[in-house]
A and B are shown apart, each in its own frame.
Chain A
C-alpha cells in the first residue's frame, strides 16, 4: 500500500514537473484574483475579516482549478484501466491523488500567500505566521480530500468543468467558513489575536469525517 502510494505520487509529481500544467496556472490565477479584488473592492490594503475572506475565496477558486485537472490525464490516456489492471488496493489512488492535491496547494500557497501580503494585506504577515501555516495546512487537507472525491465523481461526466465547482463549492462551504474564521484574528491590524481553537477543531473534525467518507465510497468510482 505504502509503496503503491509512493509510486503513484512520484508519477504525479514527475508529470507535473514535466508538463507544468496545474500549479503555475493556479498561482497565476490567484495573483490575478488579487488584482481583481483590488479593483472590485477599490481598496489598497485589507485587514481582519475582509483580508481573511479575500485570501480564502482566492485560494478556494484556485484549488477548484487544480481539482478540475486532477484526473484528466488518467481519463484521457487510459490510466484508469492501467491502474485497475495492477494488483494493488484501489484506496492507494485516493491517497496518492489527495496527497498530490495537498502538495500542489501547499506549493501554490508558498507563492500566493506572500504575494497576498505584498499586494493587499495591511498588517505584516510575520506577526502570526506559524498559526496561519497551521490553518492553511488543515484547510488544504480538507480541500484535498473533498477535491479528490469530487474530481473522481465528475471525471466521467461530459460537462466536467461545470459539475466540479457546482458540487465542490457547497461541500467546501464549512471548510471556507472555519478557515476564514480562524484566519480573521491572525490578519488583524495592530497585532494578531488568539487563534480560535473551536473553529480549528471544527476544521479538523470536518477533514477527518470526509476522509472517512471518501475512503468508504471511492472504490465505487473506479469500478468498471
Chain B
C-alpha cells in the first residue's frame, strides 16, 4: 500500500515540469486540502457509527482520521501561504474564501484534543468526542458554502481551476489527488497499527508491573482505548 502511494506521489513530479515552477505547489496543496476535508467528513461518519454501535473500534478510526487530517491541514495552510506569497505577494489574503474557511475549520478541529484531554472518564470521553466530530464534520461543508457565498457576492469567480486547464494538468492533478488519498489511507493504517501495538505493549507491561501505578506507567493519553 505504501509503495503504491509513494510511487504515485513521486510519479507526478516529472509530469508537471513543463509548468511554471511555483504552480507545482498546486499539485500538493489542492489534493492535500481536498483529502483533509474528506478526512474530516469521514471522521464524522466513523463517529456516527461509533455512537450507533458503541464499538470503540469506530472511535479509534474517527480519532485517527481526524488526527491525520489535522496534520494535513497544517500542511495545507503552510503550502497555501507559500503559494499566496508567490502568486499574490502576500502571506495571507483575507479575500480568498478558501484560505479563510480552511483556517476556521482548522481552528475548530484544533479543539478536538483539549476536549478529549479534559474529560476523565474514558467512555464519556469517546462519546463526547464523537458528538464533537459529527457536529464539526457537518460544519465543514456548511462553512465552506457560507464563506464562498460571502465572496461570490463581491466578485464572482469560477468554481474550479480544472475546467479551463489543459488535459495534462487535469491528469496530473487527478493522479496527485489519488496519490494523496492513498497516502492518507496508508498513514491512517500505520497510525492504527502503531496505536494497537502501543496498547498491547502497555497491557504486557501492566501485567509485568503487577497492575500498580497504572497512570504513572502510561502517562496521560487522550487516545481511545481498545
Residues of A within 8 A of B (CB): 149, 153-154, 156-160, 162-163, 166-167, 169-171, 173-174, 177-178, 181, 198, 202, 206, 209, 213, 216-217, 220-221, 223
Contacts and interface: CB of A to CB of B under 8 A. Distances in A.
B142 A206 contact: yes
Given A177-B147, A220-B130, A221-B128, A209 B142 contact: yes
Interface residues of B, number: 31
20 contacts: A156-B124, A158-B118, A159-B118, A162-B114, A166-B111, A167-B111, A170-B111, A170-B139, A171-B108, A171-B135, A174-B146, A174-B147, A202-B146, A206-B146, A213-B134, A217-B134, A217-B135, A220-B131, A221-B128, A223-B127
Interface in B87-141: 104-105, 107-108, 110-111, 114-115, 118-121, 124, 127-128, 130-132, 134-136, 138-139
Nearest to B132: A153
B108 A177 contact: no
Contacts of A160: 118
Interface in B49-74: 51
B153 A163 contact: no
Contact of A167 (B115, B142, B149): B115
Nearest to B120: A158
A174 B141 CA distance: 12
A111 to B, nearest CB: 30
Nearest to A174: B146
B78 interface: no
B134 A163 contact: no
Given A170-B108, A177-B147, A198-B149, A153 B114 contact: no
B143 interface: yes
Contacts of A157: 115, 118-119, 128
Contacts of B51: 217, 220
A56 B130 CA distance: 30
Given A153-B131, A220-B51, A163 B114 contact: yes
Contacts of B2: none
